[in-house]
Structure formats: structure tokens, C-alpha cells
Structure 1
Amino acid sequence: MITKWSITIPELTGDEPRSAYVYVPDAFEEDPEARYPVLYMFDGHNVFFDEDATYGKSWGMADFTVATGLPVIIAAVECNHHPDNGRLSEYSPFTFDNPEVGHVRGLGRITMEWLVNTFKPYIDAVFPTLPDREHTFIAGSSMGGLMSLYAVTAYNHVFSRAAALSPSIWFATGRLDRLLREAPIAPDTVVYMDYGSRELPFHSNMKRQFSRVASRLLERGVLLDCRIVPGGDHNEASWERQIPFFMETLLYGVE
């Protein structure tokens, strides 16, 4: 069952509505006492429905979870679509300047404060969740992948596991490295991180930076599942094919 409704994020876009989505396993109807882990996802409009997706192709997360019978709730929120770098701003922990996109004000911390202090408490109050850190995960791709890395490190007291697909780790590399070095990270933290082989050439030194981030996570004791996807690209169709891999990692050993 997927519930879709309109919300606002006053701290970011005032009273402008955007969509929120929650998938709850159908098994809940047969067992109303059941409670489930929660996977929070960025770019919620791309998660479930092709008709809502930016480029007409979603991840199809509900199709996969229904087909596999995975006992997990998925909660996702639409991104900011403003043409003046709205998405980049909300999904960047750091302010930066780029010759292609110009100046981007990093509002990632505000985004996460809203998600942790407003959205998550609502989800826990309304839906049959297991609200503790052990059962709270986060995932995203591209800038959403960067935010997933940010969330599981800067907000490690809330999220125990994260999946970062094709994360945008090609800018603000120094500040990202400092975050990974200094953030308090619990030893049971699990991270899935990948990058497509076809997208590695998109940014100079991408392979080196990917290796650097992976090494830093390993140095911090993170339980890392890291891979280069053969033939993988930077789009929803490619990320959809990675669902079995990152969901296996996120739910592995979870009771």
C-alpha cells in the first residue's frame, strides 16, 4: 500500500506544497501488530511511480518490495524543483561554487533537521514503524546519495544504515573528507556505496575520489559494501537494477 499526500517544508520553501510518499507492506493488513524498519529516501517523486518521475522512469521500489515480500516501510519526499538550483541547494551539506551550475547555497543541514525532527516523528506516529536507530535507514542517488552519506555520518545517532548510489562526491571534497574523519560514527554503521562504470569519466579524478571516500569509511570502522557497477550509468533505470544489491545490504541481519 502506498500513501501519497501533500506536505510543506516551511524552513525551505514556505507554504509551497510537495508530495510525500509512504509504502507499507500489505502484510500489515493481516497482522496489525507488526512493526517494520523504515527506509527514508530522497527524490521521493522518483521512487515509486513513473508518472511522477522527473524523466518518466521511477525506481519501482514498491514493485520490488511487493515481489520480494520485504518487511520494510519506505518513506520518501519530493525534492525542490526550483530552477535556481533548488534541488542542489537542499541536497548539499556544503555551500559551493561550480562553473557549470554557479553558486549553490548548501541547505542540507536544514533539510536533515526537518527530516529528523518533523518528518520522522510524523511517520513514527502514523505508521507501524520500528523507530529506533537500529531500524532506521536512508538512501538516495546522485545528490541524494551525497545526502545519504551526510545523514549516516552527521546524524549517525538516528540512522544506522545508508545506501549511496552514484553519490555526488566530486565537489567540496575537503569538507566531505573532514566530515568523514570527524563525525562520531558507531561501529555497527552499515553503508552501501556504488558508482557506475560508465559514469566514472563524468568528473576528473572520480575513481580516485570514490576510492578515497571508501577508504575513509573503512578507516572509521564502517561496515562497507562498495562496488563499481559494470555498465552502470547515472539514471533511474540503472539505479533500479541496483535495488537487490543495496536492499540486501540494508536489511542484512536486521531482526
Structure 2
Amino acid sequence: MFRKLIAALILFVLPACGDTMTSPDEPVPEAFADVTIIAVVPEGTGDVYLATNRNGWSPDASPMTPEGGAPNRRVAQLLLTEGFDLEYKFTLGSWAREAVDGAGLPLENAILTASDGLSVTHEIEGFKADPETLLDTWQDAGILGTLIYWRDVESEFLDRTRNVSVWLPPGYAEAENEGVRYPVIYMTDGQNLFDPRIANTGTDWGIDEAMMRGMESGAFPPAIVVAHWSTDMRGQEYSPWHDASKLAQFVKDELKPRVDQEFRTLTDRDNTFAMGSSMGGLYAMYLVMEHAETFSACGCVSSHLPFSEAVIAQFQGQDPSEADETPYYLRDIEAGGLLIPDGARMFFDWGTATLDALYPPEHGKLREHFEAQGYAFGEDYYLREYPGAEHNEAAWRTRVQDQLHWMLAREIPPGE
């Protein structure tokens, strides 16, 4: 979800020993625990990093040390509060290269409870292949239509380059369609949408398949999908209250003009849409609310509405009790914001399991706000709950066609 927000390494340091006196009124010092984590990795593995819930889930902030005489054994020694539940994963420096099992699927978070002298060892079977080595063989993944990759796209608004995936529907290049122009959907997390080999969880959204089902059934017209990949600054870049404005400038002022120049697109706002999940859902909402001159509709999948200062503190390994727990979207509502522009259409969905279990109350408050503004349900906005659905690509894959239908067919999707 938001594990890639900020690379913040939190170190616990024991106070110096000495002849100091402690007053009875002073708090009792916390107990600390020395913990050792060992990863046994395949021969020839490069630098290995430990990403944890104590370093903001940064994939490259905490390098492990080769154990003397055993280059395939990597060690991390941590000083933690006694009893702290540490969650962690192993990477080669990015989430695109995290540790996997024998089937090539990412490992679940490892968890330990800190106790002094604890040592745990993990046998790592391998790491995800460098996605760059798979881009030229996208056809091997069974992708329908045509997939084009723009690599390391630069921006004057963003610090990091990023890849961009461009999906063209079947028939786009045929002579009989050379005069046809297409709507465009701009999506987040482009690495997760089409190819399971490079998707973060080993499961892609199946956007190409969902598009084909809708097109072949006549439910909605063909469209082009343009999706920029996420970076290690995903949470910060997707947050409407942080750097979403910079990412929006990249999409609106740099990416869209290039897409419109190189492909046969319908360039007007009525045929330009935004879509994303979790933090990406908040970003899609932002694009329509703040840039309605460019985007007319959005699909906001499992949007992380509880996002707040306290959430950021927690993921940075800081004490969330010192931060404001009020979700940012509620603060916007209280300030008179979060309004749907004229002619815009917004679809919010959520599940009820895992992280999505937090979302029903927040979406209920969002609906109350929209109703209070006089917006029409099913026209200006729409909300749908998917009971039992979790917060992951596998769940989003099963219902993404509903979001596509809302944008491209311009109506409530079947099912209710």
C-alpha cells in the first residue's frame, strides 16, 4: 500500500552508561533487544537490503552485511524495543527486485517479536528478475493487443525518471482503422497492469483482458491505456496533499502531449480519464477534482481515504499518537473543498477484507458529503462495495471492468 512513501531509517540508541541517578518520578527506561537477521541467498547475489516497518519500508535504506567467509550469508543486526513486532522483507535495492519463493512469487512479510539475543535465519530462493530484461518479450506474457514501453521518461517536474506503459487495442494498426481516434485512460502503477512477470505481487490487473471483454461484448468502445510506473516515492507522489501536483504536471503537461502526438487519440476532456488504486485512487480523484479541464472521469479503486498525518508517522516508524489522526480528505471537506467539478464523473469502490476493511466508514462519510452538496448518485458519482474483496491486485483484477465501464460506457456498470 503505502510502504514506499519515504525512506526514513529509525535507529534506537542506548543511553551511555555512567554514574547517573534516576529520580523516582522519571519514566522507567525502555528495555532494548539485540536482534540478528540472517539471509542465505543464492551464490552471486549482489547487495541485499532489509526493508522493515521501522525504516518506512524503504527498499534500499538498510544494507545487509556479508558474513565473513560466507558471501551467500547476509546479516543485519538491529537494536529494537523489547517486544516490538518487526515486519520485514528482503530486496536487491528496489521493490521490483524483492525476494521470491520457488514459484517466483513475492514472499509474505516476515514477522518477529524482538527479544534480546534473538537470531533468525531465512533461506532465500531468489529475487524477482530485473523487469527491464522482460520488457522486450511482453508477448510471452500472453498480453492481448499491443504493449509499448517508454523507458526512463524524464520530467522537469519530478526528481525521478520512470517507465511508461502504453496499451493499444487490437486493430489499432489496421488500415481500416487508420482514421479512428480513441479515448485515453491514464493509470498509475503501470508495472502492475498487464504482465504478471513484473507485477509487484506476481498478479497483474489484467487490463488488456478486461478491455477486450468489454469491447467484444459491445459494452464499451476501445480505448488506449497509458500508465506511468510507480517509484520508491509512490506514496508521496500520489498523495494529493504532498507531491501529486508535481506528478499531475508531468501527466498533463508532458506525458499527455506526447501521447496525443504519437497516437490517434481523442484529446478533449470528455475522452480523457484517470484511474488508480489505494494511493493511486486518491491521485485519480485529485486529477479530476483539480484538473477538470483535462480529465472528466475517474475510477478510484480501494482509495486509501484513511490517509492522515498519523498514517505517515506510523509508516515512518514514528509515534503516530503525536500526529493528527484526521484523514486528509475530511480536513478538505471541513475547509470547504473536495467538490466534484461540473460535468465530471467519479466512481469509488472498496472491499471489506484486509486493508479495505478500513474503508466502508470513510466512503460512507464521502457519500454524505456528496449528498450534502446536491450531487446526483449514479450521475456525478457512484460508490460500490465488493464484500470480501481484499486490498491487492488479485481483487482489483476481478472488478476492474466495472470501472472501465463507468468511464467508457458513461453509465453505472451492471451488477446492481
Task: Give the TM-score, by structure 2 length.
Answer: 0.53
Separation of aligned partners in 1, 2:347 and 2:356: 21
> Over residues 84-122 of structure 1, what are the superposed CA-to-partner deviations in whole Å (9 max), with x where a residue is unaligned?
xx111111121xxxxxxxxxxx21111111111111111
Aligned twin of 2:142: none
2:366 alignment counterpart: 213
Counterpart of 1:237 (choices 394, 410, 414) is 394
Aligned to 2:227: 76
Cα displacement (A) at 1:231? 1.3
Give RMSD over aligned pairs: 2.1
| Letter of the structure 2 residue corresponding to residue 34 of structure 1 | V
Identify the structure with bigger relative contact order (alpha carbons < 8 Å, sequence gap 6+): 1
User: In 2, Cα distance between the equivalents of 1:220 and 1:71?
Assistant: 33
Letter in 1 for 2:150: W
> Is the Cα contact below 8 Å between 1:161 and 1:190 reproduced in 2?
yes
Contact map agreement 1:154 1:179 (CA 8 A) in 2:
no
Q: Which residue number in structure 1 is paired with residue 349 of structure 2? A: 194
Residue in structure 1 matching 2:329, options 161, 166, 176:
176
Give CA-to-partner distance per residue, 1:26-63, whole Å, 9 cap, x none.
22223110001110000011111111211111101012
Aligned AA (2:157): E
Q: CA deviation at 1:128?
A: 0.9
Q: What is the SS of the residue equivalent to 1:242?
A: helix
Residue 228 of structure 2 aligns to which amino acid in structure 1? V
Number of residue pairs aligned between Structure 1 and Structure 2 = 235
Letter of the 2:255 counterpart: F
Cα distance between partner residues in 2 of 1:207 and 1:48: 28
What amino acid does structure 2 have at the position aligned with 1:92? Answer: S
Aligned: 1:93 with 2:248: no
Larger Rg: 2
1:199 and 1:251 map into 2 onto residues whose CA distance is 30
**After superposition, where does 1:6-85 map in structure 2 within 5 Å?**
6=151, 7-14=153-160, 16=161, 18-28=162-172, 29=174, 30-69=176-215, 70-80=221-231, 82=232
The alignment partner of 1:11 has SS state of: coil
What corresponds to 1:102 in structure 2?
none
Aligned residue among 143, 150, 171 for 1:5: 150
Instruction: State the SS of the aligned residue for 1:250.
Output: helix
Deviation at 1:79, TM superposition (A): 0.6
The runs of 5 or more residues in structure 1 that have no matched partner are 95-105
CA contact (8 A) 1:187 1:221 kept: no
Deviation at residue 145 of structure 1 after TM alignment: 0.5
When structure 1 is superposed on structure 2, of 112-121 and 169-178 the one drifting more is: 169-178
- Structure 2: which amino acid aligns with 1:208? P
Partner residue in 1 for 2:84 = none
Contact 2:193-2:207 at 8 Å conserved across structures? yes
Counterpart Cα distance in 1 of 2:164 and 2:283 = 18
Provide the rounded CA distance (Å) in 1 between the counterparts of 2:189 and 2:154: 15
Change (3 A) 1:67 1:217: same
**Secondary structure, counterpart of 2:225 in structure 1:** strand
